[in-house]
Amino acid sequence: MAEEEFQYLSGFGNEFASEDPRCPGCLPKTQNNPQKCPYGLYAEQLSGTAFTAPRVTNKRSWLYRIRPSALHTPFKPIDMGNMRDDWNSWYPDPNQLRWHPFTIPDAAKGAVDFAEGLNTLCGAGDPKTRNGLSIHIYACNSSMLHKCMYSSDGDFLIVPQKGTLRILTEFGKMTIKPNEICVIQQGMRFSVQVSEPSRGYILETYNKHFTLPDLGPIGANGLANPRDFLTPVAWFEDKEIQCTIINKFQGKMFEAQQGHSPFDVVGWHGNYTPYKYDLDKFMVINAVAFDHADPSIFTVLTCQSETAGVAIADFVIFPPRWSVQEHTFRPPYYHRNCMSEFMGLIKGKYEAKEEGFRSGGGTLHSMMTPHGPDSECFEKASNANLKAERIADGTMAFMFESSFSLALTEWGNKTCLRVDEEYYKCWQGLKSHFNPNDRLKLSETGGESVSKVKKFSF
């Protein structure tokens, strides 16, 4: 794929229309599905929500294609190794968990494409009832040839860590580099090409689609801006080739065959599309007078549950920024959370654990499992001069946070051979500094005598 073939329309959640310039006028002018489509095309609707969903949340696109996507042989079960939503056969583990960088297949031992290199790390819920999520790791060294895939279970949020992905979708082409993300929504067929060994993370959500978080008191400008989300321009190929269609369905993998390219959409219009986003465009907000701002101020995308303010999954990043703080501990505080937190590192060193947490690896802190800075970070930050300074330059860490209690698959707990058995030791150096005979002056801590504090409750 030539780089100049990748063009984008800007926007997020809006209605778009796109035609391949080789077939101008391929989109009907007066109605969605005329008796006969221009150029002898077939009209096919792809619905991402129920037909009767409210207008503000209704998602669908019309595809005008050379052949309907129904033209294939029956799907048959296949063994895709460790790509399966099976986290009930392994005993739960409440410990702090960390993985060394996940292994990339050695090209000398054979070609492994994106679909073959998928492994399910952990998850919760059930795709059959459309309730839950899963986290996958991909690691590959070759392109998908005459092959595409899609998920009937949910949306794929793809976070490349190493290697550029060139993704061909039914809607057009996208190039996704490390420090960018893309979302391939439920049911959209895609194929991945690579020119180098590649590795990254995938968050799959079953319930709903990702949206931008509400800004509330932040106001109109902040976090991720809608105009920076980019949607591909229509592009098609008309090829009669034997092609394999891989379908993730109810947590299992299936494949079918068809005698033509699945990427034969000449034009499309609608608001249900794949899209990409450059993490460098995130507008950071972070000036702290006391305590430490919750990581929710770094939310890029969210998939909300039916309970207001409670996410099925949030995608949160920790980008380079100015850290401006006074009278407080600068790094993340020690914490126990009613949410599950999976963290990955795209590049650089994460401030709270600069050594053990490495690019291409991950951590999981489950519900109410205590975590926070390691002992070295604590000592350094406790004695630091709290002047304004740049932090996280050259670094991009992220978090998949969920209200679901995540459980590991056998691959995540054992087969991957990447579990760091000594992770717990990073906190063993924390020691007591308590001395009741060496009381700090209250002015130094910004407090006042408890007896002088007026008590009240809301």
| Active-site entry in 72, 136, 269, 371 | 371
| Active-site entry in 335, 354, 379, 410 | 335
Is 422 among the residues known to form the active site?
A: no
Nearest residue to 65 via CA among 235, 257, 252, 243: 235
Is 269 among the residues known to form the active site?
A: no
Nearest residue to 119 via CA among 81, 148, 86, 88: 81
Is 209 among the residues known to form the active site?
A: no
CA angle 120, 121, 126 (to 5 degrees): 65
Is 146 among the residues known to form the active site?
A: no
| Active-site entry in 292, 376, 379, 410 | 292
Residue 328's contacts (CB-CB under 8 Å, 6 or more residues apart) are 288, 289, 290, 291, 292, 386
391 neighbors 323 (Cβ within 8 angstroms):
yes
CA angle 357, 406, 411 (to 5 degrees): 70
Q: What whole-number distance in Å separates Cα of residue 141 and Cα of residue 120?
A: 18
Residue recorded with tokens 């309907």: 68
Residue 72's contacts (CB-CB under 8 Å, 6 or more residues apart) are 245, 256, 257, 258
Is 365 among the residues known to form the active site?
A: yes
| Active-site entry in 180, 269, 365, 401 | 365
Q: What whole-number distance in Å separates Cα of residue 398 and Cα of residue 401?
A: 10
Q: Which residues are catalytic?
A: 292, 335, 341, 365, 371
